[in-house]
A and B are shown apart, each in its own frame.
Chain A
């Protein structure tokens, strides 16, 4: 159960070539862009100057981009590295990249693809980018589990050194993708809302600002 002292202090939703920050539409790319082109356009718009981005698989690029947007105006970097953790989830694990890697095996197995054949690598890429060293966990489930995501991060904030936790859903399978990240903290900031299953569900289902 949530103790009642954990808050959602930020959200980022990326789907249908649109990027939402805290419920507001931040950027809409050409709907004709396929996922790789959309991710590159998002990188150019919100970041740049991070060449390792181009080496990532689509799942890591998507999660990395969502984290970039989610955290851009926060004070999370004032915390020590061990105080920020992550709890992410998705439906397809790393299957999209697994299949791409498998396709290379009959010729020359790609080391660069192989290193992304685990879903939790996306958390590693986000951690490297932001210097996070806190606990992190990746779950695989058919749908976004609001019950789990409203309780487990709250438990981590209550019982471990974590002061902030990035949680949510990062899914990629072929051209289908969706990222919904939340910043959860045990401090009530402006526009923060209590972390509850209903709040997560409402934010996850938002379609338009």
Chain B
């Protein structure tokens, strides 16, 4: 998950966030969490395509997939077709 955190930071240009400061279960889209917004959500979709060759077939799954770094990692593990 450390690699995924680094990829998220690079993709979203979170220059003032250290990978270690992101908790595995920390919500990504709440003010109490990482505070990401709708554009960040689109960038995370691009990240999955670029790094893991994963296309999200059902957009309604988005909130569940992108809840936290851990839920993203689980989804990647279950759906990855080409290793990054």
- Of the candidates B15, B17, B39, which one forms a contact with A111 in the assembled complex, judged by CB atoms under 8 Å apart? B39
Question: Which residues does chain B contribute within 8 Å of A54, judged by CB atoms?
Answer: 13-16
Q: Interface residues of A: mostly helix, strand, loop or mixed?
A: helix
14 extra interface residue pairs, beta carbon distance < 8 Å, beyond A54-B16, A55-B12, A108-B49: A51-B17, A54-B13, A54-B14, A55-B13, A108-B50, A110-B43, A110-B46, A111-B39, A111-B42, A111-B43, A112-B13, A112-B39, A112-B42, A112-B43
A115 contacts the other chain (CB 8 A): yes
Question: Which residues does chain A contribute within 8 Å of B46, judged by CB atoms?
Answer: 108, 110-111
- Of the candidates A51, A108, A112, A115, which one forms a contact with B16 in the assembled complex, judged by CB atoms under 8 Å apart? A51
* Interface residues contributed by chain B, number (CB under 8 Å): 12
Nearest residue (CB) in A for B45 is A111
By a beta-carbon cutoff of 8 Å, the part of chain B in contact with chain A is 12-17, 39, 42-43, 46, 49-50
* Bound form: Cα–Cα A54–B12 in Å: 9
Residues of chain A in range 41-78 having any CB-CB distance to chain B below 8 Å:
51, 54-55
* Bound form: Cα–Cα A55–B39 in Å: 10
0/1 per residue, A110-151, Cβ < 8 Å to B?
A: 111001000000000000000000000000000000000000
Nearest residue (CB) in A for B44 is A111
Nearest residue (CB) in B for A55 is B13
Question: Which residues does chain A contribute within 8 Å of B15, judged by CB atoms?
Answer: 51, 54
Nearest residue (CB) in B for A49 is B16
Nearest residue (CB) in A for B42 is A111
Q: 20 A-B Cβ contacts within 8 A? A: A51-B15, A51-B17, A54-B13, A54-B16, A55-B12, A55-B13, A55-B39, A108-B46, A108-B49, A108-B50, A110-B43, A110-B46, A111-B39, A111-B42, A111-B43, A112-B12, A112-B13, A112-B39, A112-B43, A115-B39
* Bound form: Cα–Cα A110–B39 in Å: 10
* Bound form: Cα–Cα A112–B50 in Å: 15
* Bound form: Cα–Cα A55–B42 in Å: 14
* Bound form: Cα–Cα A186–B43 in Å: 44
Question: Which residues does chain B contribute within 8 Å of A110, judged by CB atoms?
Answer: 43, 46
Question: Which residues does chain A contribute within 8 Å of B49, judged by CB atoms?
Answer: 108
* Bound form: Cα–Cα A108–B14 in Å: 19
Question: Which residues does chain A contribute within 8 Å of B39, judged by CB atoms?
Answer: 55, 111-112, 115
Nearest residue (CB) in B for A107 is B50
* Bound form: Cα–Cα A182–B39 in Å: 31
* Bound form: Cα–Cα A110–B14 in Å: 16
